[in-house]
Structure formats: C-alpha cells, structure tokens
Amino acid sequence: MANNNYDAIVIGAGSVGIPTAMELADNKLKVLVLEKESSPGQGQNKAAIGGVRATFSDPGKIQVCLQSLEIVSNWQENHGDDIGWIRGGYCFPVYTPAMEKQLKDLLVTQHKYGLNIDWVSAEKIKELIPGINPAGKDGEELRGGTYSPEDGNLSPLKTMNAFYHRAKRLGAEFRFNESVTGINIEKGKIQGVRSDKGVYNSPVVIIASGADARDVGELANLDIPVSPDCHEAGITEPVERFFSPLVVDLRERPGSRNFYFYQNYDCKIIFCVTPEPPIWGKDRVSTSDYLPLVSRRLMEFLPRFKNIRIRRIWRGLYPMTPDGIPIVDKVRDVEGLYLTVGLCGQGLMLGPGVALNMASLILKGKPVVSQEVFGEFSFYRNFRSTVELLK
C-alpha cells in the first residue's frame, strides 16, 4: 500500500480542484486527484463561458478574484501557455435610478478592497459597446454604468488544460473514471478516501466536487448547503471584433433575472442568462425555451445582433450557496478535511485565487488574504446574513 500514500487528496478535477492540486504540488506535496469523469474539466468547467472578474459586492470574492486575475493575466508570460486571455474589462450598463444608486453605493466597498472600477457616463458606455440600445421598456434610458478595465475573459478549455499539465509536471497524480465512495475518518482525523477502484491514504482531503458537493459531503457526515442551479449559454459564429468588455445587463425580463455576453479570443460572441425563477437540479439537457428567450434579450440590448448566426447552445450547473458566496474552509470537527465548494458558477474565475489561499491554509494554517476577509467564506457562517449582490 506504500504507493497509495499521499500528502493530500483532492476530490474533483475541475475549476477549483486542478489549480488546488497545482498549488499543493508546487509546494512539494505528493498530491492525488480523484475524478469520476474521464478527463479534466469535464464537470461544469467545460460549460463555463470564460469571464474573469473581481467586480463583486463581497470583499472576499473581490480580493480572491484579484489574485486570480494576477495569475491568469500573467500566465502566458510566466508559463508559456496561451489561455486566450483578453483584458477587456467588465461593463454594467444602467437604465434605472434604483440600479444606478445600488452600483454607485457598491463602489465604496469595491474601492476599499482594491478593485479598479468607476462609474462612467452614458456616452462612454456607447463607446465601449457600439450600437447599444440607449432606451428600454417603460421609459428606461441609458444612464451610464460601471466599468472595471482590469477584468477580462479567457478560454476555459485552454486554461484548465494549462493548469492540468502544469500540475502533472509538478508531480500531481490524476486518476480519472474513479468515483469516491467513502471518506475515511478515525478519532476525528482524516485517514484518506475509498473509491470504486481502491483505497488511498492521506492526512489531508480537499472536497472540490462542484455540483456534487452535497453528495460528497455526506460521505463525511457533512450537510454542505450547495444546490445546483441550471443555466444555459450559447456561442455565435465569429464576427469582426467590435467591442471588448464582458457586458452584464442587470435588468429583469420575463424568464431571466439578468443577461451577459462578450466577444472571446477568436471573435465569437458567448452569451448567457440567469433564469428567473431558478431551475434547480442536475439536468444538463438544453431546452427549447432558451434560444427564443436569449435572442429577445440580445436584440433588445444590441439590435445589430439580429444578423449574427448562433452556432451552439449548452447547459451547465451553478453550484449555489444560499448567499451566493463560496465555502472555502477547514472543517472544525474533522482534522485534515477542507472544503472548496459552492463557487456559484464562478469556479473558473475564483479557482486560481481559491487554490492559492487553500494551499496556504493547509501548509501555514492561514490564508493569503486577511482572515477577516477570508471569514466571508466560512462553512460555519450565517448564510442569510449577507447576500452577494452581483452573483
């Protein structure tokens, strides 16, 4: 059994599990990653649209995503891989006085925690998004919006592939098509895990299992408050680049709470809506309702979209916590058990920063960001006291 002894075991080879394995291996730990799918990033990572932002209302998410932005924006220079990174920014156009007040009020927190973001005029929004419809329903009128120029977008596939191969070069071991069936705990201490193919020993286990977080948590008698929420997305044919930021329209429309889109590294437009009401469950099958709904939103917001052909749609799962804030923590009652779950559909953008802090928590007993900020991610928090407003 000597070959089955590890310093750390990560459950899940996705947006958080892979960079966590990479960080731990970079710190000379012998790491095993167990994944039920056949290859890396085959859970929700392959359904990600590719946006990376630190534009949030929660201080923890702001600071951890700033760390992610630092990692991904310098990845090609530091490691040589082209991950499709574009620093195009994020833009939140505003059409109502209430939304203007909310976003301007958020600037105080966003500036306090280091985010480069400001309110810009309606004219500036028109420059950032040529052809934007300045009017909306029931007297709505473009009033301006917020713009964070250091946010951006990348290729989920290229990024996860780069992280995976670096983790392997650093010595991390990956076992695919292998489901975890048990978490071994003795006298309040982690001993390792059982799978459908073997037993693996380790004093450290990290649950990074995305939409399966609640099921995996039950193996350790934990009730992890993560519920999958179904979202659909799509991609168009390539067109000549005509805008740079990832655009978020926060207005509610029938069937959707908000809507967002951007033009990626090869000039295709990727788009997604947040359904209203939420669609809970693990159904990954695309629906006949989505294209009519999103097409209306696309053409209302930017009429020139009517001439662009849609190539493909897909459906993924947002592993949601009740407050829209991740759970990144050490389990108090089980020594050696850690959680990186409930990333709320933002695992790709939060993953590198979460991994940096998780590695520090395991190795040094404290995160990289301040404990006060990191406490926002506590497994033991009151999940109804705060809500992420830009989730």
DSSP character string of 148-189: ETT-EE--HHHHHHHHHHHHHHTT-EEE-S--EEEEEEETTE
* Residue 121 placed within a domain: yes
Residue 119, domain member (yes or no): yes
What are the two backbone dihedrals, phi and then psi, of residue 123, each rounded to the nearest 5 degrees?
-65, -40
Tokens of 276: 């209203």
d(CA 109, CA 179): 42
Measured CA to CA, the distance from residue 244 to residue 267 in angstroms comes to 10
Residue 271's alpha-carbon distances to 13, 25, 193, 319, in angstroms, are 25, 35, 39, 19
Q: What is the pLDDT along the chain (391 residues), one digit of tens a residue?
A: 458 999 999 999 999 999 999 999 999 999 999 999 999 999 999 999 999 999 999 999 999 999 999 999 999 999 999 999 999 999 999 999 999 999 999 999 999 999 999 999 999 999 999 999 999 988 999 999 999 999 999 999 999 999 999 999 999 999 999 999 999 999 999 999 999 999 999 999 999 999 999 999 999 999 999 999 999 999 999 999 999 999 999 999 999 999 999 999 999 999 999 999 999 999 999 999 999 999 999 999 999 999 999 999 999 999 999 999 999 999 999 999 999 999 999 999 999 999 999 999 999 999 999 999 999 999 999 998 788 989 8
Domain boundary among 319, 334, 369: 319
Question: Which CATH number belongs to the domain containing residue 339 in this structure?
Answer: 3.50.50.60
Evaluate whether residue 135 is within a structural domain: yes
Same domain, 161 and 32: yes
Residue 154, CA distances (Å) to 83, 172, 233, 236 in order: 6, 24, 16, 16
Residue 242 placed within a domain: yes
Largest CA distance in the chain: 70
Quick one: tokens of 104?
């301007």
**Nearest Cα to 391, choosing from 61, 107, 88, 130?**
61
Which residue, of 319, 336, 358, is where some domain finishes?
Answer: 319
Do 160 and 305 share a domain, yes or no?
no
Same domain as 96, residue 231: yes
Q: What is the number of domains present in the chain?
A: 2
- Flag whether 134 is in a domain: yes
20, 99: one domain? no
End-to-end CA distance of the chain: 45
Q: Is residue 202 within 8 Å of 8, Cβ to Cβ? A: yes
The residue range of the domain holding 216 is 2-54+156-225+323-377
Q: Are residues 348 and 156 in contact, defined by beta-carbon separation less than 8 angstroms?
A: yes
Residue 273 lies in a domain: yes
The residues near 348 (Cβ < 8 Å, ≥ 6 apart) are: 15, 45, 48, 50, 51, 52, 156, 159
Helices and strands (H, E) in the chain, number of each type:
10, 19
Count Cα atoms within 13 angstroms, Cβ side, for 208. Answer: 33
Q: Are residues 313 and 347 in the same domain?
A: no
> Do 116 and 143 sit in the same domain of this protein?
yes
Token pair, residue 125, equals 């929004």
**Exposure class string for 161-175: b at 16+ Cβ within 10 A, else e:** bbbbebbbebebbbe
pLDDT at 3: 81
Domain co-membership, 249 together with 315:
yes
Q: Is 75 a member of any domain?
A: no
At which of 282, 299, 319 does a domain end? 319
Other Cβ atoms closer than 10 A to 206: 31
Q: What is the C-alpha to C-alpha distance for residues 324 and 388, in angstroms, rounded to an integer?
A: 5
Whether 107 and 146 have beta carbons less than 8 Å apart is answered as: yes
CA pair distance 361, 342, nearest whole angstrom: 18
Q: What is the pLDDT at residue 386?
A: 82
Instruction: Count the alpha carbons within 13 Å of 99 in the hemisphere toward its beta carbon.
Output: 19
Rounded to whole angstroms, the Cα distance separating 113 from 261 reads: 26
Both 208 and 238 in one domain: the answer is no
What's the pLDDT score for residue 2? 53
Domain-embedded: residue 387: no
Verify that 189 and 235 share a domain, yes or no: no
The pLDDT of residue 1 is: 44
* Nearest CA-CA partner of 112 in 62, 71, 150, 65: 62
Contact assessment for residue 208 and residue 340, using Cβ atoms and an 8 Å cutoff: yes
Length of the chain (residues): 391
Helix (H) / strand (E) containing 260? strand 256-263
Q: How far apart are CA 387 and CA 58, in angstroms?
A: 8
